[in-house]
Amino acid sequence: MRETEVATGALDPKDWAAFEASLHKVLSAAVDKLKAAETGRVWTPPPEDIKAQLHAPLPVKGLEYDALVAQLTVLLPYGVGNTHPRFFGWVHGSGSPGNLLAEIIGAAMNANCGGRDHIAIYVERQVVEWCRSLFQFPDSASGLIVSGTSMATIIAAKTARDRALDFTSRTDGVGDTKLVGYVSEQAHSCLARAFDMLGLGTQALRKIPATAGFEIDLAALQVQISRDRADGFHPFFLGGTVGTVNTAAIDDLKALAEIAEREQIWSHADGAFGACAMTSSELAPRLSGIERADSLAFDFHKWMHVNYDAGCVLIRDGDAHRRAFAARPDYLAANGVALAGGDPWPVDFGPELSRGFRALKVWSHLLEHGTEKIGRAIAENCALVSGLGEKVQAHPDLELLAPVSLNICCLRYAPASLKRAQLDDLNTAIVAQIQNEGIAAPSTTRIDGALAIRVNITNHRTREEDIDILLDAIIRTGVDLSSGRSL
């Protein structure tokens, strides 16, 4: 068919039955992968032949469905490995099969959730409403479903910045306003990135020392705020972390709320994964004070096991949130009539105009599982990590490098026979070898300068036996590597 003859609906299947059969094949392959999620290798490097196959010219002619299905399903085994119970790296949620249901409906709707009056907007509002209730934010608080905590943090920090400058920053920029903010040195790098992107510069985000428990040092914070005021700076943002990325430490949120109120500073809580512990009646008391934050950023895709990507920002002062983002040209005016009704629109609360229907998978996931089951899975993860900490302490060749908090344990292989200076390289090599062998996938970080094997569990599939397999692998690999090299 010549280009000029392309029929209306050119991208619709010519044979719907063949399309549906292909969809079933894809679905079966996806379900088979998830049914086997607890078996096999954790991570398999992408094979050279598949990488070579990807390296192809821009397709001019399309494929038949069978060929397309083959190209799609061949990718399935080569993910990062986070669906496997022995994926312990970084902070990756494991996801859950139920997401497939929502993703199919979402794909069929193809909703653009920047605004307008359609059902997806109401679903998103309901998810935000549930979040407000989970974290005891007032009805006047606003929220948005976003790609993740990094984006949520940018939105929160921009709202704080603009409110601090009476919203003149939206037109005039920040100029020489000397805005400064505060987080602990253990805070996630997304906060400094937000300061960078908002034109404040990363140096305007003061890194306050942490205590021995890796929580923000409140006395040092007070000293820095007073010093900054004396030097003519304008403190406007105070970030606490609910579960730091290195050790899952929880800053004293109540104390931070009090300091923020006294100093008239915006208080922000980074609860990327830790805030999800609010769903556990056992753990929720440890998050006390989170309900007093001016803004909260957290992810559904980490400890709530919604598939990537889905995060949330909640902002106590919903008016300020809207004033920080609302700016509609004529063609986007909400006139309250028909499809242009449904005010306010999500575009009034964030930087994206076109946005997908992320809220659907979150809504469906919460309907499917409820917070009770999710909270129980989180508490079980914490119990496993606490047990891991005890096993590490009981083993003569292992060393616990930080107190165990929530779901993260930092350890290293450190037999007394080895020199301390050799341990960083050795532990880096242990982690790489265990990952390469497909046995488990911890990651690394540094604790007080020492290279740590970092074990994070945000995985509803992980069991005690997985912890034992990991520990055996660390010790066996440590023995092998240290005996085989000149240390």
Ligand X SMILES: Cc1ncc(COP(=O)(O)O)c(C=O)c1O
Name the site residues for ligand X (rule: CB under 6 A): 91, 148-150, 188, 190, 241, 243-245, 270, 272-273, 299, 311
The two beta strands, 295-299 and 450-456, are unpaired
CB of 360 to ligand X, least distance (A): 19
- DSSP E strands in 141-272: the ranges are 142-146, 179-184, 205-208, 234-241, 266-270
Q: Report which residue type is found at 376.
A: R
- Measured from the CB atom, the residue of 410 and 473 that comes closer to ligand X is 410
- Measured from the CB atom, the residue of 194 and 473 that comes closer to ligand X is 194
CB of 345 to ligand X, least distance (A): 24
- Measured from the CB atom, the residue of 124 and 270 that comes closer to ligand X is 270
- Measured from the CB atom, the residue of 180 and 297 that comes closer to ligand X is 297
Spell out the residues 6+ positions from residue 120 whose beta carbon is closer than 8 angstroms to its own. Answer: 109, 111, 113, 357, 359, 360
- Measured from the CB atom, the residue of 270 and 317 that comes closer to ligand X is 270
CB of 462 to ligand X, least distance (A): 17
Spatial contact of 75 and 51, defined as CB atoms under 8 Å apart: no
CB of 329 to ligand X, least distance (A): 29
Distant-in-sequence contacts of 150-153, Cβ < 8 A, 24+ apart: 150/190, 150/193, 150/194, 150/311, 151/311, 151/313, 151/350, 152/297, 152/298, 152/311, 152/312, 152/313, 153/190, 153/191, 153/193, 153/194, 153/268, 153/270, 153/297, 153/313
- Measured from the CB atom, the residue of 312 and 470 that comes closer to ligand X is 312
CB of 122 to ligand X, least distance (A): 25
Residue that the structure tokens 């979040």 belong to: 131
Distance CA(292)–CA(267), nearest Å, equals 8
CB of 149 to ligand X, least distance (A): 3
Spatial contact of 374 and 380, defined as CB atoms under 8 Å apart: no
Residue nearest to ligand X (CB): 148
- Measured from the CB atom, the residue of 116 and 268 that comes closer to ligand X is 268
Spatial contact of 115 and 347, defined as CB atoms under 8 Å apart: yes
